[in-house]
Amino acid sequence: MQTHEIRRRFLDHFVKAGHTEVASASLILDDPNLLFVNAGMVQFVPFFLGQQTPPYATATSVQKCVRTLDIENVGITTRHNTFFQMAGNFSFGDYFKREAIKHAWALLTNSVEDGGYGFDPERLWVTVYLDDDEARDIWKEEAGIPDERIQRRGMADNYWSMGIPGPCGPCSEIYYDRGPEFGLEGGPEADEDRYLEIWNLVFMQNERGLGGTGKDDFEILGPLPKQNIDTGMGVERVAFLLQGVDNVYETDLVRPVIAKAEELTGRKYGVSHEDDVRFRVIADHARTAAMLIGDGVNPGNDGRGYVLRRLLRRIVRSAKLLGAEQPSMREFITVVRDTMAPSYPVLDTDFERILNVAVGEEAAFRRTLVSGEKLFETAADEVKSAGQKVIAGSEAFALHDTYGFPIDLTLEMAAEAGLSVDEDGFRSLMAEQRQRAKDDAQARKHAHADLTVYKEFVDRGETEFTGFAELTTEASVLALISGGVRVPVATVGQEVEVILDRSPLYAESGGQIADIGVITAPGLKVRVRDVQKIAKKLWVHKVTVEEGQLTEGDAVLAQVDANWRAGATQGHSGTHMVHAALRQVLGPNAVQAGSLNKPGYLRFDFSWQGQLSEAQKQDIEAVTNEAVAANHPVNTFVTDLTKAKQMGAMALFGENYGDEVRVVEIGGPFSMELCGGTHVAHSSQIGPVTLLGESSVGSGIRRVEAFVGLDSYKYLAKERALLAGVATALKVPSDEVPGRVEQLVERLKVAEKELEQTKAAAVLAGAGAFVERAERIGGLLLVAEAAPQGVAGNDLRTLATDVRGRFGTEPAVVVLIGSADGKVPFVVSANKAAQDLGVKAGDLVAAFGPSIGGRGGGKPDMAQGSGSDASGIPAALSAVRARVAELAG
């Protein structure tokens, strides 16, 4: 049975049983505890916590999930995956244990012809919580499972919680016996490879308190108001069982990626464990990376972006180790699209953007590998020069952690160079890093924000937003909230949250910041500083009482600051215009990746590889302003999501839209986007748009910023005044300023070059004096002196090299320590004859560096660095002499 069919049967089964089918949430949710959605129940947490009343009593979904805690084990075992699909059914105070068990058993054991999966009931085992006699009895009564195939397990295995205060409860897990060839007899307690868990039914009935990091070290506070059901069936696990293969990597949605890797590398899967690990890494990570990019994640150096970057780089590394010399990411991502798109259409509709991000990161990492190889060669040369055979674990860790160079490539290159790596040292440092990451993640976990105070008003329905049609609205004060609790009244100076039944003030969303304004009544004036949404439907006004007394139940007048709103609509409509212009100039791959707009200003992030040229920026600005000048009408209308997409409306990736959406159309086909923000009536009202600049905000993501309207005019007026001042100073017309400045810059470069030459000549003029003052220690000559004041950097290195060269073939060492700009630069240079006597430049740095608070390094013939304590220069020079005397015998 194909995986797409397994998904469909699950959903159909529960829809027929009265459940509402709910689409998978994005992998990115606004949850402080989660990097990515990692379980099917995550989007339903507010319902389980009782903070919101669910719009349905029962639900079913197939949620896309990503877990990355065990990323290092992916491929090594066949049980670890980063991306997986969790099919689940949920009850919010409706049915409980008996119905949940009946639903699961029917789907698993009903025949394929009857819509089930057709599992042999005799091969199914279950586990229950230690004292859950009720669940045990239901399994016996409803499924006929005998006592010997029901096992009791403790909290660590059969008691579920989110790991933080919140809902929890005992659970019952369903296992499939794969047969004696896969392990020991004795059920799940004996062998969880043979007895594979495929479904977990959580009887969510209690509330847990604080606890430690373990799964069983928390206090159970008491029962929840309602008994809920949260179940999860692993789609991939069921797939490999029903497809008769040994593991998820051989299923219909994963094996094709391995087949493509075989084709590109010439290696075969199933021949060696080492190669199999690499094939699995490619297959697993390619799926995960495509899904993450599809939901709006871009490679970066922290958080979600760093996880994606690691996944993509592990693909490149594994392909390289399998023998792929040419880039291969395009082929892998294409196979993922072809196999996964039937269930996740975004992989098809947004394919070019997804592909560009993945391929761009591959290209960047391949350049990193080239740099890493050079760094490795330097490290290997130093090890060989020291007469050693082992590259330190710290060196391997630095290559891995700082430069992104994989350890297995380091091991392979070390073997080719006749060296080995201190793997124990490397693993120890990696373990320390992982522990720091886990500690950091745990420290950032906390209980979900308690939104219970808003529940009554969320349940009443959406706040009526009147701001599209008017700026002033009569309203009633439904509630005042301070410090998370309702209060009856707020007085002068008090800051509270106000819930109104209707409001013209825009609540921050879609990149547009909130309106500001006032709430008034006779004798009352309240300043609105911010407006936020709760549960995407309740407007919460953050206010300060300036006059009078605000009381729950008051009839008030809510008013938007008209100037603020005018500027905000200019900024938001300007964002749409810039987006359309970007796509017209750069092509359809320039897709929105985020935005911010406020009065007079807009910021727009978009997917793109590489810096924009001046010509491209000028074209984008020109296209935008031409559309502004065309005075296009701005039309808004509400339609269903399917029709909007058929019309060509742009949607923000990773965003979940309802069945009905609002479309903003400017100039017909010029710009059409799904948007809930406020806009101008005609494009000319945006006013001039002036691009301020363009920059990178992450791998494959660029940012443009612009002023609009009056702010644009003020900026241009300031630039014009600046240009006029420069023209006056240069005594040329304004249009000749660029040429004149270019001439001056060229003259300055020539003058600086001449100055450098003069300076270098002056420095080298003193080289002879250093040679004359050379000390003979043992069988070599030593120059150990303070450099002339102000000589630093390349000049110091040039001087040391010149002095060393004047000694010819006679063993000589030159140590010069300078002092410039509060720093203490130094250079150590040893010729070949000195090195043959055992003197290495790096060794001398270690001898005198502490005296000046410095450190540095380099090759045996040349080392340099910098210190911070000039008072230690005499002691440093003495240390050099002592060390050279020791080496010279």
The angle that helices 407-416 and 351-385 make with each other, rounded to 10 degrees, is 40
Contacts for 164 with CB less than 8 Å, ≥ 6 apart: 33, 445, 446, 447, 448
CA distance to 371, 495, 544, 647, per residue, from 530 (Å): 49, 11, 10, 35
Q: State both tokens at 602.
A: 């807009």
Closest CA to 328 of 318, 343, 338, 342: 318
Closest CA to 840 of 851, 856, 854, 829: 829
User: What beta strand segments (E) does 709-779 contain?
Assistant: 775-777
Closest CA to 13 of 108, 139, 124, 140: 108
∠ CA(674), CA(675), CA(676), 5° rounding? 140
∠ CA(252), CA(256), CA(261), 5° rounding? 155
CA distance to 181, 266, 450, 507, 740, per residue, from 453 (Å): 56, 62, 8, 19, 67
Sign of CA dihedral 9, 10, 13, 18: negative
576 is in an annotated binding site: yes
Contacts for 300 with CB less than 8 Å, ≥ 6 apart: 306, 308, 309, 698, 699
CA distance 252 to 234: 15
446 is in an annotated binding site: no
Contacts for 372 with CB less than 8 Å, ≥ 6 apart: 399, 403, 404, 405, 409
Closest CA to 640 of 631, 632, 649: 649
Tell me if residue 95 falls in helix, strand or coil: coil
Sign of CA dihedral 769, 774, 780, 786: negative
Cβ atoms of residues 805 and 769 within 8 Å: no
Cβ atoms of residues 597 and 567 within 8 Å: no
400 is in an annotated binding site: no
Helix (H) or strand (E) holding 618: helix 614-629
Closest CA to 607 of 582, 636, 577, 570: 582
CA distance 452 to 485: 9
Contacts for 104 with CB less than 8 Å, ≥ 6 apart: 174, 199, 201, 231, 233
Report strand pairing: 159-161 vs 472-482.
Answer: unpaired
Question: What is the residue whose two structure tokens read 């709760």?
Answer: 534
Cβ atoms of residues 39 and 65 within 8 Å: yes
- Within 13 Å of residue 769, how many CA atoms lie on the same side as its CB? 9
> Tell me, what amino acid is at 809?
T
Contacts for 36 with CB less than 8 Å, ≥ 6 apart: 27, 28, 65, 66, 67, 68, 292, 304, 307
Cβ atoms of residues 604 and 575 within 8 Å: yes
Q: What is the dihedral of CA 305, 311, 312, 313, to 10 degrees?
A: 100
679 is in an annotated binding site: yes
Cβ atoms of residues 879 and 845 within 8 Å: no
CA distance 552 to 550: 7
User: Annotated binding site for Zn(2+): which residue ranges?
Assistant: 572, 576, 675, 679
User: Annotated binding site: which residue ranges?
Assistant: 572, 576, 675, 679
